[in-house]
Structure 1
């Protein structure tokens, strides 16, 4: 008879099954099995081997009749034939069923009960089970009785996929079937694949329910004012939303419904390279706690962490339950957003540190998703940031066409009246290698002024290259910082670089120009005639 913890998975286990163990027990199991070691503060340190970031080229969506017409097929969502998936899932089930031990976790994604899904993870490793337990929402014990998953993750990190048999590219495969409601992950130990596979599911399900899924962090002020922070990894979502003066709703994934904002997750997954107690005290504290999972973080023999060590990867990570941050919204839900902040790490160093966006500009920059991918976040990247455009600040996780999410954002902003801002957390005084990273002290001062409403009343001037409205003065921020051209010693070099980035924006927008309203086309960044 199938164990209740494996119901619906198709797996018949021959070995021991460890179902819904809590954090302390999972740490003990991981240590017993030699999956890693403890830091001097008790955090569990895991090393993921060759995969230290997401394997974006190895992600597949199963091509199924009921959904094929709505999927955004291409480089992001690569087709896997149903027959190939059947072979893959059959082999993964057989592999998992033959293991001496399996670990399962039953969890929620979505803090709003009206829009949550039930997730069951089956994995070979205790530390991956702990990661998922930290990352998702942990149901009360009485809600685990008769738990029936909406989606199941079959996680076989040590099993190598077979490209010839499974229709994949390499020995790594992350394959998602919307019809069967199953995710298979094989050939990679990087735990971020677990997290992002469920985000992809939420990005598929929620638009049909009138809810905008978002790759953003969110917090709320004392007056109940909600702020959203869009941005890719390394742009500051986690850092800037973890503000001691505001309560954290969540650090990465949210839904925006007609009733308000809700977190998809019950934990945080912070990038911790060069993390310091001075700049990011809340994340630093959470990283040095029992129950936290550290991925590819280096420590000495005694477990003292060296958060500047890039030996294993630039993409070192800390995963902890959200209650490790002191000032949170325990319910994971709040009201409608008052401010929408789009974060970009401009590797060229030509964008202003903050600019106010009209609703049409907000949709344009949302669809453009300009940033610099930070080294190590994805497998195969070099050491230097790369300028990129990632649609909706989360293209790798969008199963539907980008215009679906863009239209929903425009509708939500229009109906709820949020102020919108573009914030550059990247470089100033020159591009990467010449300039320096924007100071977090200045960024926080700019955000405080935006979120308390005072910045919206400031005097603005229009940037001549990007058409952005830039404030002339902000308390606590030198005036020359507000105008990026003034931070460059070589003004002619700034002009050349700005024109180059304008051209990149223009070329990127060609993909969406025919699918948006005239108001958005009118504000598109373009070269001067």
Structure 2
């Protein structure tokens, strides 16, 4: 009798075979045998995800039950679905799993053992099992032998398509999170990022009740002093790129918790964007794309199998998922100290925000809650050029609880530890998207290095009345003109008009979404 590792207890009956926690080489071989993908000339497994090349936010639902109803911030992102609909889709997915080979991975989320959760991911595809093996924390042989029951189970069946008329979904795809039964269903999409972000959403629901602030951020630290910094930002703002600093240890590139002991990574890997990947500008990411890495939607030369990272004909959102130890300066295990610096990353497509500015505690709270950026091409279905957006907490799609819960926890930590906070614009300068140019990465790196090393503590600042921030007037390695956005525009009147427009967007968004915020936080934002 074959071993099913207890899957029958959740209703997985009569699978053809269950493969548990197989090696990257084995999973790659199996994916090739299944014709799920091909190898690049570096040995990475390259797959195409079909219709869905990014997250499908309109297809995500939270199961609404009495025990969790009052805890969820219901809105047009946290959409409810009934327990009955969830159970009906689950039953059909379990039937779909019958007589199929299944690829099981049991892993952890949370490098801090005191906050760690056990996740069991049941995959239809070997390639997606490879992905989540890379992204979760991999148990040792001893930990696997003593794994026991998972805290949360995720069923992933991209080949199963929902019927919206019957199932109550919006399309063939569905990402359904049931916090009560501690289960996630992912159907109809091969985009592996849905698995990763489902894990994140679960952690974001449970950890605040344990006194831990979950954050959509990257983190790194000084290898000698252990001074720790965190980088908030939506996908495409530079979290992965800017935290992969050769002079610092990378704690993690996307998801972290902040406990009384310090920062810890939720993950055991990285999920980096590959579009326009340049080995000179981003050598760590470039060199991590090798055997054992899963690559999504990157175009390969048919003869040489060499990747063309500049070809976006499939999608702008090309991705690579690899273990964090593929980054040579990764901190192992993924833990750091109390952050001394917080960086808010925003990609301003209007080109009016300064490339770096210092924030007071109140301004930090304002910008954390506001989460202004531009969704960049490909990150979600249908995004083909930057679209300005306000994403609460720089991660609204993954935050199921009320924003003031997370914001309050961050504010308490900024005050308690006297953490410095900077707003960094990695978007456009010299004009808006289509006229100006994207901020030069070398200048952004120089500004962040200066902030982390204390070089901006004693330089002169200019207070910008419109955006209510303090702009440093000098920074090592950065031309002074770059620091003041108005100076980079040829037409200063056009800058003033655009800046007024953006400030009004901030004002209207905050007034609409957060009318009950304390007055001192409201007053710390941009002024109309």
On whether the aligned pair clears a TM of 0.5, the verdict is yes
- In terms of mean alpha carbon deviation, does 482-491 or 449-458 score higher? 449-458
| 2:186 corresponding residue in structure 1 | 185
Q: Secondary structure at the match of 2:220?
A: strand
Question: By how many angstroms is 1:511 displaced?
Answer: 3.4
Question: By how many angstroms is 1:259 displaced?
Answer: 1.0
**Alpha-carbon distance between aligned partners in 2 of 1:511 and 1:128, rounded to the nearest angstrom:** 40
Question: By how many angstroms is 1:7 displaced?
Answer: 5.3
Question: By how many angstroms is 1:512 displaced?
Answer: 4.4
Do the aligned residues in 2 keep the contact of 1:485 with 1:491 (CA within 8 Å)? yes
| 1:161 corresponding residue in structure 2 | 162
Q: Secondary structure at the match of 1:57?
A: helix
266, 277, 280: which one aligns with 2:279: 277
Do the aligned residues in 2 keep the contact of 1:5 with 1:104 (CA within 8 Å)? no
Alignment gaps of 5+ in structure 1: none
| 1:328 corresponding residue in structure 2 | 330
Q: Secondary structure at the match of 1:338?
A: strand
Q: Secondary structure at the match of 1:456?
A: coil
- In terms of mean alpha carbon deviation, does 424-433 or 460-469 score higher? 460-469
Q: Give CA deviations for 1:384-420 in whole Å, capped at 9, x if unaligned.
A: 1001111000000011011111111101111121100
Question: By how many angstroms is 1:5 displaced?
Answer: 5.1
| 2:300 corresponding residue in structure 1 | 299
Do the aligned residues in 2 keep the contact of 1:87 with 1:165 (CA within 8 Å)? no
| 1:111 corresponding residue in structure 2 | 111
**Alpha-carbon distance between aligned partners in 1 of 2:324 and 2:146, rounded to the nearest angstrom:** 26
Do the aligned residues in 1 keep the contact of 2:465 with 2:527 (CA within 8 Å)? no
| 1:139 corresponding residue in structure 2 | 139
Q: Give CA deviations for 1:174-195 in whole Å, capped at 9, x if unaligned.
A: 0000011000000000000000
Q: Which runs of 4+ in 1 moved over 4 A?
A: none
**Alpha-carbon distance between aligned partners in 2 of 1:13 and 1:179, rounded to the nearest angstrom:** 26
Question: By how many angstroms is 1:447 displaced?
Answer: 0.7
| 1:151 corresponding residue in structure 2 | 152
**Alpha-carbon distance between aligned partners in 2 of 1:232 and 1:60, rounded to the nearest angstrom:** 20
Q: Secondary structure at the match of 2:363?
A: helix
| 1:83 corresponding residue in structure 2 | 84
**Alpha-carbon distance between aligned partners in 2 of 1:498 and 1:273, rounded to the nearest angstrom:** 30
**Alpha-carbon distance between aligned partners in 2 of 1:340 and 1:13, rounded to the nearest angstrom:** 50
Q: Give CA deviations for 1:49-98 in whole Å, capped at 9, x if unaligned.
A: 00000000000000011000110111111110111011011111111123
TM-score for both structures, normalised by structure 2: 0.98
Alignment of 1:38-437 (within 5 A): 38-99=39-100, 101-147=101-147, 148-221=149-222, 222-287=224-289, 289-301=290-302, 302-381=304-383, 383-437=384-438
Q: Give CA deviations for 1:318-342 in whole Å, capped at 9, x if unaligned.
A: 1100000000111111110000000
- In terms of mean alpha carbon deviation, does 369-378 or 459-468 score higher? 459-468
**Alpha-carbon distance between aligned partners in 1 of 2:406 and 2:257, rounded to the nearest angstrom:** 11
Do the aligned residues in 2 keep the contact of 1:403 with 1:515 (CA within 8 Å)? no
| 2:19 corresponding residue in structure 1 | 18
Q: Give CA deviations for 1:403-459 in whole Å, capped at 9, x if unaligned.
A: 111111101111121100000000000000000000011111111110001212211
**Alpha-carbon distance between aligned partners in 2 of 1:270 and 1:55, rounded to the nearest angstrom:** 18
**Alpha-carbon distance between aligned partners in 1 of 2:227 and 2:516, rounded to the nearest angstrom:** 32
**Alpha-carbon distance between aligned partners in 2 of 1:116 and 1:17, rounded to the nearest angstrom:** 25
Q: Secondary structure at the match of 1:454?
A: coil
Alignment gaps of 5+ in structure 2: none
Question: By how many angstroms is 1:168 displaced?
Answer: 1.0
Question: By how many angstroms is 1:9 displaced?
Answer: 2.9
- In terms of mean alpha carbon deviation, does 87-96 or 485-494 score higher? 87-96
**Alpha-carbon distance between aligned partners in 1 of 2:342 and 2:54, rounded to the nearest angstrom:** 28
**Alpha-carbon distance between aligned partners in 1 of 2:397 and 2:298, rounded to the nearest angstrom:** 25
**Alpha-carbon distance between aligned partners in 2 of 1:323 and 1:40, rounded to the nearest angstrom:** 21
**Alpha-carbon distance between aligned partners in 1 of 2:142 and 2:38, rounded to the nearest angstrom:** 32
Do the aligned residues in 2 keep the contact of 1:42 with 1:291 (CA within 8 Å)? yes
Question: By how many angstroms is 1:525 displaced?
Answer: 1.6
**Alpha-carbon distance between aligned partners in 2 of 1:506 and 1:196, rounded to the nearest angstrom:** 30
**Alpha-carbon distance between aligned partners in 1 of 2:421 and 2:15, rounded to the nearest angstrom:** 55
**Alpha-carbon distance between aligned partners in 2 of 1:89 and 1:282, rounded to the nearest angstrom:** 40
**Alpha-carbon distance between aligned partners in 2 of 1:412 and 1:389, rounded to the nearest angstrom:** 23
Do the aligned residues in 2 keep the contact of 1:9 with 1:152 (CA within 8 Å)? no
Q: Give CA deviations for 1:335-364 in whole Å, capped at 9, x if unaligned.
A: 100000000000000000000001110110
Do the aligned residues in 1 keep the contact of 2:374 with 2:387 (CA within 8 Å)? yes
Alignment of 1:502-513 (within 5 A): 502-513=503-514
**Alpha-carbon distance between aligned partners in 2 of 1:131 and 1:350, rounded to the nearest angstrom:** 38
**Alpha-carbon distance between aligned partners in 2 of 1:344 and 1:355, rounded to the nearest angstrom:** 12
TM-score for both structures, normalised by structure 1: 0.98
Q: Secondary structure at the match of 1:61?
A: strand
